[in-house]
Amino acid sequence: MAYDNDNIFARIIRGEIPCHRIHEDVDTIAFMDIMPQAEGHALVLPKIAGEDVFSTPPESLAAAIRTAQLVARAVKQVFAPPGIMIAQLNGQAAGQSVFHLHFHVIPRYAGKDLGIHAAAQADPAKLAAQAERLR
Ligand code: 5GP
């Protein structure tokens, strides 16, 4: 599949669509997932165009995982979950719905199932407050 320059994350990177930003540097951006699977669910993206792990250069993957570690540390500090899942999906069959490579950073709690993927939009005020704490 060819990379779609107008996918939602490309538009967020270009600043055409707002997001609840947690971190940004020259290579990566991190923001709250608008349909979180758990409180504090964040997304980390390399800025370079690439839809999946196969079409994203290794240096960009490395930059993104560095930012994912930074964000996971912040999530641990702010939400104090006993576990944190870092996930990255490739292809529709794997559940990928936005075709610009990204890592999910999701707090996990013992005995609490993961929420449904990309199902329900969270309260924007709540996401803004969470992003502020994570920043
Ligand atoms: P994927 O299914 O591709 O692994 O994950 C895409 C993620 O992006 C989903 O968890 C979904 O909730 C999230 N998402 C979809 N549209 C938007 C949006 O416009 N803004 C933000 N912040 N997240 C989005």
Could you tell me if the CB of 92 is within 6 A of ligand 1?
Answer: no
Instruction: Please say if 41 is a catalytic residue.
Output: no
Q: Residue 34 Cα, ligand 1 centroid: separation in angstroms?
A: 6
pTM, two decimal places? 0.96
Cβ pair 8, 17 in contact under 8 A: yes
Using one digit for the tens of pLDDT, what is the confidence trace for 72-121?
999 999 999 999 999 999 999 999 999 999 999 999 998 888 888 878 89
Question: Which amino acid is it at 42?
Answer: A
Using one digit for the tens of pLDDT, what is the confidence trace for 16-60?
999 999 999 999 999 999 999 999 999 999 999 999 999 999 999
Give the N- to C-terminal CA distance of the chain in Å, as an integer. 34
Cβ pair 32, 81 in contact under 8 A: no
| Phi, psi (degrees; rounded to nearest 5) at 62 | -65, -45
3-state secondary structure of 56: coil
Could you tell me if the CB of 118 is within 6 A of ligand 1?
Answer: yes
Q: Angle at the Cα of 19 (from 18 to 21), degrees rounded to 5?
A: 130
Counting atoms of ligand 1 from 1, which one is nearest the CA of 88?
4
Q: How far is CA 18 from CA 12, 34, 51, 70, in A?
A: 6, 11, 20, 22
